Structure formats: C-alpha cells, structure tokens
C-alpha cells in the first residue's frame, strides 16, 4: 500500500514501527540513567537523524530518494573519583599499582589498619 510521509508520526510508522520502537527503547535507557544517577545534572540526549539521499538518472534528474533513520542516545560517561597510586615493582620491573582504599587522595598516608596488632611484626 502506498503511504505518505508528512509528519513525525508518519515517519515513526515506517519499517513496521521500528523507528518508534527504537525511540522508546532509547527513552527507557535515558530514563533509567536518570533514575540511577539523579545527582548528575548533565543532559541526557535522544537523537533522531533522518538521512535523505537523492538518486538521479544518467541525465542528473532526480528519480527518487532513499530515506533512512537513526535513533541514538547520549548519557554522561561513568566516572570514578581519582585515586593516588604508586607504581609497584618486582625485580626492577613495574608489576602493578598500589593504593590505599582508606585514603584515596594519598597512597602514602598511614591509616589505622596499618598499625600492627599486639605481638604482630610489621614487614
């Protein structure tokens, strides 16, 4: 059946409603991110891109167009706080990173868990 595209609703219906379904899925993802991280005030975005490509005959006359749609979302990146870390070496080679989870701003800071218990020998 021949149909017309004149409104956003018409566009959402093409390809058996896949554009509408994609929009709804992206909306749910954005709403889930908002619920999970409400204190993060950065914008979440849903984009609908409509690509319209002309097709011409050998004389340069427009014969038809190819239309496709892309639906996407953008949410702020997940980011942890910064941790001060030291390079760990084994036999002169870097073997990893060390940090103090009770003092993330300074890996050298002593904390109560560093105090040896009575009778315990500290390395």
Residues 102 and 59 in one domain: no
Same domain assignment for residues 61 and 41: yes
Query: What's the total number of domains in the chain?
Result: 2
Pair 20, 68 in one domain: yes
At residue 1, does pLDDT exceed 80?
no
Q: What predicted TM-score, i.e. pTM, was given to this entire model?
A: 0.64
Determine, yes or no, domain membership for 90.
Answer: yes
pLDDT of 66 strictly over 90: yes
Same domain? 58 vs 92:
no
Residue 72 backbone phi and psi in degrees, to 5: -145, 170
For 59, the domain range is 8-74
Query: For 40-60, how does the pLDDT look when each residue is reduced to its tens digit (9 = 90+)?
Result: 999 999 999 999 999 999 999
pLDDT one-digit tens code per residue, 32-41: 999 999 999 9
Do 66 and 20 belong together in one domain?
yes
Do 12 and 32 lie in a common domain? Answer: yes
Quote the CA–CA distance of 30 and 72 in Å, as a whole number: 10
Both ends of the chain: CA-CA distance in Å? 81
């Amino acid at each position: 059946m021949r149909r017309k595209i004149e409104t956003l609703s018409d566009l959402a219906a093409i390809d058996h409603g896949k554009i509408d379904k994609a929009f709804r899925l992206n909306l749910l993802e954005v709403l889930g991110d908002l619920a999970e991280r409400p204190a993060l005030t950065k914008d979440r975005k849903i984009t609908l891109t409509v690509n319209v490509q002309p097709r011409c005959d050998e004389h340069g006359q427009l014969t038809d167009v190819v239309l496709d749609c892309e639906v996407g979302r953008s949410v702020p990146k997940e980011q942890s706080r910064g941790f001060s870390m030291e390079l760990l070496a084994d036999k002169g080679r870097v073997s990893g990173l060390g940090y103090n989870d009770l003092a993330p701003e300074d890996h050298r800071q002593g904390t109560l868990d560093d105090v040896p218990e009575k009778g315990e020998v500290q390395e």
